[in-house]
Amino acid sequence: MKNNLIKIMAISSIMSILLLYFRIQWSGNLHFAFLVWNLFLAWIPFLCALALTELQKGANSKYVLLLLFCLWLVFFPNSPYILTDLFHLTPKVDVPLWFDLVLILSFAWNGLILGYTSLFEVHAFLNKFFKKGTVWCFITGIMILSGFGIYLGRYPRWNTWDIVNDPIDLFSNIFNLLIHPLNNTRMVGVTFFFSLFLMVSYLTLSIFIQHKQNDSE
């Protein structure tokens, strides 16, 4: 089942990359090449979540599982972040606007599906250790952190690697943002509305999947 899931997501991601390759050949420039990197970052939490639930079945060290969970948590905001690449959608002389829209939506779709699939895996993993209400509170917290992470990536332009490369400046910036929220209305707005969108979308998918499972029983 998981092998099939990986194959499907790999095929879908390759299709997006082929669209980008076609654009590069068409326009002669690398304008949207960064989408490949963003998609790569979205794959990391997906693979971490699959490994987490797979290794949890065996007698593996709690520290290994904790490491995988932390990696997933840190990289998860990269999945929905690709949605903000729609900000780059502007009319170009060399490529029709509709093609760029399809291109960015293709990468954003893959990012969202990779993210939500990984979240379903982590949700199932947490259900084995905590009560359902507690897990949903945790999921809500993850969505809020993801909304905040999207803001950090799009506006102050921080990225996940800065946790290692420049942790002092990163956490100093985060601290200043959090202690002066009224001075950062954009941060509050982006965090709130993106986390709300992610939460409602996840709830919708959860209810849909549960409904289909009940119908099949």
- Give the model's confidence band at 55: pLDDT under 50 very low, under 70 low, under 90 confident, else very high: confident
Contact (Cβ atoms closer than 8 angstroms) between residue 23 and residue 99: yes
Concatenated DSSP letters of 89-158: ----SSS-HHHHHHHHHHHHHHHHHHHHHHHHHHHHHHHTTS-HHHHHHHHHHHHHHHHHHHHHHHSS--
Mean pLDDT of 125-137: 93
Could you read off the pLDDT of 7-17 as tens digits, one per residue?
A: 999 999 999 99
Which residues have C-beta within 8 Å of that of residue 102, sequence separation ≥ 6? 19
Q: How far is CA 148 from the centre of its chain?
A: 12
C-alpha 110/C-alpha 49 separation (Å) is 16
C-alpha 100/C-alpha 89 separation (Å) is 7
C-alpha 196/C-alpha 99 separation (Å) is 29
Mean pLDDT of 160-173: 91
Average of per-residue pLDDT values in the chain: 92
C-alpha 37/C-alpha 5 separation (Å) is 21
pLDDT at 199 over 90: yes
pLDDT at 216 over 70: no
Predicted confidence at residue 215, as pLDDT, reads 66
Predicted confidence at residue 60, as pLDDT, reads 67
Q: How far is CA 47 from the centre of its chain?
A: 12
Predicted confidence at residue 59, as pLDDT, reads 59
Q: Can you tell me which residue has the tokens 């599906």?
A: 113
pLDDT at 58 over 80: no
pTM reported for the whole predicted model:
0.91
Mean pLDDT of 16-33: 95
DSSP 85: G
Q: Which of 134, 156, 157, 125 is nearest to 56 (CA)?
A: 125
pLDDT at 198 over 80: yes
